[in-house]
Structure formats: structure tokens, C-alpha cells
Amino acid sequence: MRTCIYCPQTANSIEHALPASFGEFENAPQLVDRICRKCNNERLGVLDEQLARCGPEAFIRKFYGVKGRATHDSVNPFYRGSAKGQRLQMTVFDPNVGYDVLLECDNGVFRQMCQLVFIERSGKTCHLPIREGTSPEQLRAAFNGLGVVPPYDMHVVYGPEERDWVELLLKATSPGISFGPGTTGATTYSPGGAVAFTVTNRYFRAVAKIGFHYFLTQFPDVSGHEPAFSNIREFILDEGAGVDRANAFVGERQMPLIGEMLGGGRPDGWVGHALCADITEGECRAHVQLFICEDFQPRIYTVRLGRDATSVGSPAFGHGYLYYPNGPHGKFSGEAVSLTTTRAAFPPFPLAPVIKSA
């Protein structure tokens, strides 16, 4: 029996190189019996949660309506974060009401979130998303956490279907509250909205984990236990690492990863992910690009895994994870296909740091 690459326990699980939170893909590479169930589900699962629910990929995932496994918890990343990451915050100015509001998105449809808006005398605006099932105690605690400076004006934003539970919640929280006639907000918005992401080291550790695990699926003679990979294994597990430490292992690739995107071109209607792995001049590397699509320009991450002085030649492998254009086929969201890789006799290109100093 094999031993888990992260702990002394028996390796007895199946790991998807691309997290299942982005959907399951037919013919996708899997890492079989290299990781124990506890490491796979608990220690590493929180990394996938933050990547899929708190980073830029969380927004694109909601924009395209991508679902994970049916057994995964349904979490709206615009209302709460996951795995110590912060929720997504998308703000836009609503000309009808005269202040910024929070928006949420699902499957290409944008709408105003159910929210409280506090406007201080200084002009500062604070937003508090609210959801059905929130208790008065939870609402008071969330408000106190905002640090709103009195005096302030408070506005409530909700849809007609939310009116009953919203008003009951606010009256239970503040019995003396009263409601005015209200104002209808905008349904279309001018350009200029912004989406804010706040992630921790778990986000970049998730990227490193994806790259490392994909590399192992493509180089079956490599166990993952080798001393060359001791640093990347330690980084993936290091809960106490500062976010700046990601620069030692993850960099932003400046050259396109997918050939047809050379020259600035974008995919024509298709959406997918690309994972690649290579050994160049003895350096083991993986490349991760999530949500390649015509609507966004995703970053390309290169993961430095370690050096293998015994490597001969310059092998390279790649897979594209392409979503089916008409939605899932059964349990599969799409299909993984092997990419034709090309190599040139150049040293590794310099990478931009993923965490930049202020």
C-alpha cells in the first residue's frame, strides 16, 4: 500500500487534479491512492473551498452558473465567504436611488442583493447583505462589525418577494423602525461596477496543490514523496504561511498558455480550463489557467514544484477541461482532452510575482 504524500497514513482516496467544485469532467486525469481521505477531504478541502468561492474564479463560476457536485453545500459567495476567505463584493452606482448598491450574479443575470445600506455624514457608504433565516442577534453582530459612524442614514434594498421576511427581521432587531414608501432601483447599470476579492494564503496554496497533483498524474514514475518536492508539500499544508510566501512557489506567466490565444485572441464561445506540466532544465513545473473564456482574461499561474537533476529531455503534457456548450451531460459538466504540447529550447521565462509589494 502507498503512503499519503502529506502524512504517514495509507493513501486511499481518488483526487481530481481540477477540483470537483468546478464540475466533473469526463476522461479527466485523477490521482489514485496518493493521498489519504483525511488529507484529501479536510486538510486540502478548505483550499478548494476558498479558490472556488472567494477568488476571481468564484465570480466567473457564478457568472457561468457552474455547479460542483450535488453533494457540495450550496453557498452564495456574494453573501458569505468560505474557508477564512471573504465574500465577493460587487458594487455599482444606482442612479435611481443615488448611492452605491451591492449586486449578485448567477448564470449571467445580475440583480441587487438584499441589503442594508448605511450612509455616514462623511459620505462613506457601508453595505450589509442580509439573507432569510438571519436572526436579530446575528444582524446586530454583523452591523457592529461594520463600524458605522453615527449619525447615518439607513436604506433597505430588497425585492418584492423578500419584503415580508425582511420587514419582520428588521422590526425584531429594532422594534421602533418604520418603513417609507420606497424607491424603485435601476435594472440596468452604467459601466464602472467593481468586484472586490480578498483571499488568504489558502488561495495560492490551492493553485499550488492543483499544479502539483496534475504534475503527478502526468509523471506516474514520480511518487510525490521525493525530497525535491518537500518544499512544495510543506507550503501546501502550511496554514501559518504569510500570503507573501506564495511568491516562492507561484508566479504569473506572461506568455499565453494556449496556442490559439497568441496575439490576444480569445475563445470563440467556449469556456474551459487548462492544466499543463513540464520539466525544463531540471525544473519541475505546472501551469494553471482557470476559466479561459471570451468574457474575461484569467491569470496564468506557473507553479515551481522543485528540481529533478536526473531528468532527461524536456517532457511536457497538458489537458484542456472544456464545458459542454449546452449544459451538463449526466454527472459530467464537460470533457477533458489532451493538448498537443510544443517545446522550444529556451530556459523558463521570468514570472511576475503574484503578491506585489505596496
Nine cell digits for residue 241: 504561511
Question: pLDDT, tens digit, for every residue of 85-134?
Answer: 899 999 998 888 889 999 999 988 888 999 999 999 999 999 999 999 99
- CA dist., res. 96 & res. 354, Å (int): 39
Query: 293 vs 209, which has greater pLDDT?
Result: 209
pLDDT exceeds 90 at position 81: no
Helix axes 45-54 and 56-63, enclosed angle (nearest 10):
70
Phi, psi of 146 (to 5 degrees): -75, -30
pLDDT exceeds 60 at position 190: no
Q: Considering only 41-55, 254-268, 309-323, which range has the smallest mean pLDDT?
A: 254-268
pLDDT of residue 268: 77
SS in 3 state form for the chain? CCECCCCCCECCCEEECCCHHHCCEECCCEEECCCCHHHHHHHCHHHHHHHHHHCHHHHHHHHCCCCCCCCCCCCCCCCCCCCCCCCCEEEEEECCCCEEEEEEEECCEEEECCEEEEEECCCCEEEEECCCCCCHHHHHHHHHHHCCCCCEEEEEECCHHHHHHHHHHHHHHCCCCCCCCCCCCCCCCCCCCEEECCCCHHHHHHHHHHHHHHHHHHCCCCCCCCHHHHHHHHHHHCCCCCHHHHHHCEEECCCCCCHHHHHHCCCCCCCEEEEEEEEECCEEEEEEEEEECCCCCCCCEEEEEEECCCCCCCCEEEEEEEECCCCCECCECEEEEECCCCCCCCCCCCCEECCCCC
* Bridge partner list, 246: none
**Mean per-residue pLDDT, 171-199:** 76
pLDDT exceeds 60 at position 73: no
pLDDT of residue 309: 62
- Average pLDDT over the chain reads 88
pLDDT of residue 263: 54
The SS3 assignment for 158 reads coil
| DSSP per-residue letters across 249-311 | TEEE--S-SSGGGGGG---SS--EEEEEEEEETTEEEEEEEEEE-SS-----EEEEEEE-TT-
pLDDT exceeds 90 at position 314: no
**Mean per-residue pLDDT, 49-61:** 92
Query: 190 vs 218, which has greater pLDDT?
Result: 218
pLDDT exceeds 80 at position 313: no
pLDDT of residue 242: 85
Is there a contact between 115 and 128 (Cβ–Cβ < 8 Å)? yes
Percent of the chain residues topping a pLDDT of 70? 90
pLDDT of residue 67: 85
Query: 192 vs 41, which has greater pLDDT?
Result: 41
Spatial CA neighbour of 110 closest among 181, 62, 178: 62
Nine cell digits for residue 76: 452564495
pLDDT of residue 84: 86
pLDDT of residue 357: 66
**Mean per-residue pLDDT, 52-62:** 92
Alpha-carbon 257 to chain mean position: 19
pLDDT exceeds 80 at position 262: no
Taking each continuous run of H as one helix and of E as one strand, the counts in the chain are 7, 17
pLDDT of residue 336: 96
pLDDT of residue 348: 66
pLDDT exceeds 80 at position 347: no
Confidence of residue 48 (pLDDT cuts 50, 70, 90): very high
pLDDT of residue 344: 57
Q: What is the dihedral of CA 17, 21, 26, 28, to 10 degrees?
A: -10
pLDDT of residue 200: 87
pLDDT exceeds 90 at position 343: no
Confidence of residue 299 (pLDDT cuts 50, 70, 90): very high
pLDDT exceeds 80 at position 30: yes
pLDDT exceeds 80 at position 341: no
Phi, psi of 42 (to 5 degrees): -105, -60
Total-model pTM: 0.90
Question: pLDDT, tens digit, for every residue of 274-294?
Answer: 999 999 888 999 999 999 998
My answer on whether omega of the bond before 151 falls inside 30° of 0, hence cis, is yes
Nine cell digits for residue 300: 496564468
Strand pairing category for 250-252 and 352-353: antiparallel
